[in-house]
């Protein structure tokens, strides 16, 4: 396996793991702060925007490479 392929795979896997860990942190924060449904939705929406940005960046780079 070449270094570039390994790096791309690890970035995807590790950033995915980080996103899941951040989702757990947000869920725990919402639960401990008793944010309710609306507050929890707002917290996850803000996290979702960051995840969406990462996905869009990945897609744009993949399309540009074609």
Q: Is 64 helix (H, G, I), strand (E, B) or coil?
A: helix
- pLDDT tens digits, 20-52: 998 999 999 999 999 899 999 998 998 889 888
Q: How far apart are CA 61 and CA 25, in angstroms?
A: 29
- Structural domain count of the chain: 1
**CA-angle at 25, arms to 22 and 27, nearest 5°:** 110
pLDDT number for residue 66? 76
Q: Is 63 helix (H, G, I), strand (E, B) or coil?
A: helix
Domain ranges, residue 11: 3-64
Report yes or no on whether pTM surpasses 0.75: no
Are 24 and 47 contacting, i.e. CB atoms less than 8 angstroms apart?
A: no
């Amino acid at each position: 396996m070449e270094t570039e392929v390994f790096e791309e795979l690890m970035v995807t896997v590790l950033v995915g793991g980080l996103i899941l860990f951040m989702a757990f942190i947000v869920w725990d924060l919402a639960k401990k702060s008793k944010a309710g449904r609306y507050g929890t939705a707002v917290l996850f929406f803000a996290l979702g925007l960051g995840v969406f940005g990462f996905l869009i960046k990945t897609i744009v780079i993949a399309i540009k490479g074609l």
